[in-house]
Structures are given as C-alpha cells and as structure tokens.
A and B are shown apart, each in its own frame.
Chain A
Amino acid sequence: MLKKICFALLALSITASGALVATQASAQEGAQVSDAATFKDFGEKAGLVKIMDDFMAGLLKDPRTKSSFENVDQQRVKEQLVDQICAILKGPCEYKGGKMGQVHRELGINRENFNALVEQLQFAMDKNNVPFSSQNKLLAVLAPMHRVIVTQ
C-alpha cells in the first residue's frame, strides 16, 4: 500500500515538475505569474498596499535589512513595490521604477540580507492572509532577481 502511494506521488511530482519546467516563464524584467487569479488572493491593489505597509515596517525592524531602507523615501518605495508586484500578479498596474539591477547595484546586498527580505515579505503576506501557495507563485517570480540584487 505504502509502496503504491509512494510511486503514485513520485510519478505525479515528476510529471508535474516536467510540465512546470516547460511552462515556467523566464524571470527577467517583466516576468509575471502564470495564473491571473493569484492577484485576487493578494486582495488586489488595496490588499497589496496593506501588505507593503506591513512589509516596510518589518524591514525597518529587522537588523539584517534596516540599513537598506531607513534612509530612503519609504512611501515612494512602497508605492513602487505595490505597482511592481501588482504588475507581476497581472493586475492593472504599471511599474515605472528603475531596473532591479540598476536600483540595487550600489547597495552591497548579500544573500543574508536578501533572504531576510524574503522572510519579511512572507510575514507580511501571512499577516494579510495570502494563501501559502499564492505567496509561492509570487516568490517564484521574485527569487531569480537575487542575481541582480545580491552583489556581495
């Protein structure tokens, strides 16, 4: 019985992952989630505004991210993040900020800082009841940005 379950799960996951590889969009600038319904799970644009408020508050509390955000125009960063994530989630928004690589080039961000930021985003999404699977769809698009954001 256990054998059958294991084999079924393995076969399923291998098929699923194969399909995913085939459909996954390359996460360059302008990459989006594949599923437009995800935007609703974030509470659309109004939900994103709340999530970004909580996100920024978390970033300013976390010693691993604080220095990157305490001396910037936080309101503007939040607005840009709302637009950027809204666009990634296929919402009716346009991100007008700079390219990720250019924006982060001089910031000296290391992998620890990057992971801490992801963690704070997870906390903010949890707080606003975004389903975990939808959180991961967004993170799947954001994660490859480490290549241009992490410079240390």
Chain B
Amino acid sequence: MKPIKNALLKSPACYVAACLCAISANVAAQTEPKTSTPAPAAADAEKSGPTFSSKLLLTGGVTNIEGSAGGGLTPWAIIGGNGTKEQIGGSVFYTQARANDYTLNVAGAMVGLFDRVELSYAEQKFDTREVGGALGLGNGYKFTQKIYGAKVRVAGDAVLEQDSWLPQIAVGLQHKENDRGDLLRALGIKSDRGTDYYVSATKLFLNSSILVNGTVRLTKANQTGILGFGTNTKDKYKAYAEGSVAYLLRKDLAIGAEFRQKPDNLGFKENNWYDVFVAYAPTKNISVTLAYVDLGNIVIKEKQKAPYLSVQIGF
C-alpha cells in the first residue's frame, strides 16, 4: 500500500477524492435528515441483525475491467454492491478476456457505502503471449496494472425515479499504476502512472426495460494504461465518450452493447472498443457476464476480438 499512498499524496487525485467525499457527506446530511424515533419496521430490521442484499436484481450492474461498478467496458453511476442507503455492500470479481493474440485477466474487489460512495481495487494482468517473444520481450511477457477507484453518487436514482428525466449521476476516478515503467519510457511513453476522471449518467427506463449509461472520461491512458500514460509529445488530458445500453429480458437476465472511445497517441494504432454482452444473475449474489469484445489493433496485432467472461459475487 505504501507506493499508492505516496502516489496519491503527490497526485491531485487525493484532493479530488477528499473533496468529493466532503461534498457527498454534505449532500447526504442535507437531503437525508435522520428521524430520532425508531419506527416499527426499522426496529424490526435491527433485531434481525445487519442486513445486506437489498438492491433489486441486476440493478447494481456488473464490474468493469477497471474494477468499478458498471458494464464491462465502462463505469456506471451505480454504486456497487447490494447495499441501500442505510447499508454497506460490496463485491469481488474475476474477468478474463482472451483475444486472438493477448489475454487480459482482472481480479478485484469493491465496497459500496450507503449507496453513496464506492471504493474499488483491481489488478489487471495483460499477457502478451507469443507477441512478447516476437517483440524480443519473451513469450508470456506480462504487464500488471493496479487500479484504485473511487466514485461518488452526486444526484438521482437510476431505478426508482421513474417519473423523472433525471438520471443517476456519479463522478469518479481510477488511479492506475503500471509495473513496466522502464519499458514504457523506452517506447517514448511519458509515465507508468495516471489517473482517469469520469462523470457517468445512468438511467433505467423501466417502462421499456431498457437501461442506458453515458460516461465522459478524462484520460491520457494508452490502451487503458496497459501501455502507460501520455507520450513524450502528447501528454494532455482529453475527454472521451463511453456508452452502454442494456435490455432486461427477465429480472435475472440482460443483454446489451457498449462502446468506449479511446485515445490514439501511440505510434501503434489504438482503436475504440465495442462489445455485446449477456449478463445473468442466477442468485441475488452472483452474476455472470459473457461478452464478445472488438479491441481493434493492439501494438503489432490488428483485429483483436475477445470472448469475455466475468463472474461477480456481491453482498
């Protein structure tokens, strides 16, 4: 934890996170005044011990490849875990996307606090398989990236406010640390660390069983940070659009599609990402997502397409 602590202290990320928490605490205090007398139903809930798993099925989303609650490619404004505003929830996940020439494995965990704040950690392992050998790095050369995420819901309720146009809105950040700094710098990449900032808006249109999410991300990341951040000639934050749409077929089954616009600052062509997915929740605590992702060109291999499997266990 020490390196991240130092990195966070040096970066503007911690100030932003601290501000966000302070703002959200204020919002919470203003909009959700506590009543002093415990009423019958609440008292009963207390008697039966701490309670979890109170969100409606599949409305908590799945986990994105960077560890935030959302779709597979993009974070949503939803706070992860099954907790409601009086509860703490959380989840763990494992994801594998196996493209033609590369494999990405991700594992992580998140905690959702009072349906307001989400804190997450994810570790990505990007295996170059035989491409590593072809590049003189050795077969199975891996990049490991650690991602620390924070998200705060600032307005709205994606699920219940069905008579309002206002989506649920959240702001968040993903601080990323890549372990291959020396190689990245040799390639003319500016840094092995970076922080993405994003705003997400998510709305469930229950009347038509459709969920829509739009996200704008400020980033310098090359291939989401697997290839570092910025280059020696281009090192400015720019905004990129991401989107998801899901159709709920049953309360435990959804299908959908996503896209994620990406920077293209490297000498190696980088493309936008697209996917189609099926998400299934056999029980309230488990969801399984199957997807097919079009990753485009990655370094020296073009037309990368990947079956994607993700399993999430929540509470």
Interfacial residues, chain A to chain B (CB-CB below 8 A) = 2-3, 5-7, 9-10, 13-14, 16-17, 20-21, 24-28, 31, 33-34, 63-64, 66-68, 106-113, 115-116, 118-119, 122, 126, 132-133, 136-137, 139-141, 143-144, 146, 151-152
Contact of B162 among A112, A132, A144 (CB under 8 A): A144
Bound-state Cα–Cα, A64 to B42, Å: 9
Question: Which of B35, B38, B209 has its CB near the most chain A CB atoms (within 10 A)?
Answer: B209
Within 8 Å of chain A (Cβ to Cβ): is B18?
no
**Nearest chain A residue, comparing its CB with the CB of B256:** A9
Q: Is the CB of A141 within 8 A of B251?
A: no
Neighbouring B residues of A28 by C-beta, 8 Å: 163
Additional A-B contacts beyond A13-B210, A116-B54, A119-B56 (19; CB < 8 A): A7-B259, A10-B243, A16-B210, A17-B208, A21-B165, A25-B163, A27-B163, A63-B48, A68-B40, A107-B39, A108-B39, A110-B42, A112-B51, A112-B54, A115-B54, A119-B57, A136-B206, A140-B207, A144-B160
Separation of A5 and B43 alpha carbons in the complex (Å): 50
* A interface footprint on B27-55 (CB within 8 Å = 1, 0 otherwise): 00000000100111111110010010011
Query: Knowing A63-B48, A106-B39 touch, does A6 contact B84 (C-beta < 8 A)?
Result: no
B149-165 contacts to A, CB under 8 A, are 159-165
Interface residues of B in 249-284 (CB under 8 A from A): 249-251, 256-259, 274-276
Q: Are A137 and B41 in contact (CB under 8 A)?
A: no
Residues of chain B contacted by A27 (CB below 8 angstroms): 162-163
Question: For chain B residues 82-99, which have a beta carbon within 8 Å of chain A?
Answer: 84-87
The 9 closest A-B pairs by CB, nearest first: A108-B39, A27-B163, A140-B206, A111-B84, A13-B245, A112-B54, A67-B44, A140-B207, A140-B162
Chain B residues near A9 (CB-CB < 8 A): 245, 256-257
Q: Write the chain B residue with the least CB distance to A34.
A: B207
Q: How far, in angstroms, from A119 to B209 measured CA to CA in the complex?
A: 16
> B249 — which chain A residues lie within 8 A by C-beta?
132
Q: How far is the CA of A68 from the CA of B42 in the complex (A)?
A: 10
Cβ-based interface call for B130 (8 A):
no
Q: Of A63, A118, A137, which is within 8 A of B56 by CB? A: A118
A140 to B48, CA, bound (A): 30
User: CA A25 – CA B162 in complex, angstroms?
Assistant: 9
Q: Is B313 on the interface with A (CB-CB < 8 A)?
A: no
B interface SS class: mixed
Q: How far is the CA of A64 from the CA of B179 in the complex (A)?
A: 47
Is B40 within 8 A of A107, CB to CB?
yes
Q: Describe A's contact surface by its main secondary structure.
A: helix
- A63 and B84: CB pair below 8 A? no
Identify A112's interface contact among B43, B84, B251, CB under 8 A.
B84
CB pairs A–B below 8 angstroms (18 shown): A2-B305, A3-B274, A3-B294, A10-B245, A26-B163, A28-B163, A67-B40, A107-B39, A108-B35, A108-B39, A108-B41, A116-B54, A136-B208, A136-B209, A137-B207, A141-B162, A151-B39, A152-B86
Question: Is B40 a contact partner of A143 (Cβ separation < 8 A)?
Answer: no
Given contacts A10-B259, A143-B161, contact A115 B84 (CB under 8 A): yes
Residues from chain A with Cβ under 8 Å of B208 in the complex? 16-17, 20, 133, 136
Taking the closest CB of chain A, its distance from the CB of B175, in whole angstroms, is 29
User: In the complex the two chains form, is B294's CB within 8 Å of A2's CB?
Assistant: yes
Complex alpha-carbon distance, A108 and B35, angstroms? 9
In Å, the complex CA distance between A150 and B259 comes to: 36
Residues of chain A within 8 A (CB-CB) of B35 are 108, 151-152
- B212 contacts the other chain (Cβ, under 8 Å)? yes
Chain A: which residue is nearest B249 at the CB level? A132
Q: Are the CB atoms of A24 and B163 closer together than 8 Å? A: yes
Q: How far is the CA of A119 from the CA of B284 in the complex (A)?
A: 11
- In whole angstroms, how far apart are the Cα atoms of A25 and B212 in the complex? 20
Whether A110 contacts B86 in the complex (CB less than 8 A), given A143-B162, A152-B39, comes out as yes
Q: Given A27-B163, A63-B48, A143-B160, are A108 and B40 neighbors across the interface (CB < 8 Å)? A: yes
B292 at the interface (CB under 8 A from A): yes
- Asked if B248 is an interface residue, CB under 8 A from chain A, the answer is yes
Task: Give the residue among A31, A34, A126, A140 with the most B Cβ atoms within 10 A.
Answer: A140
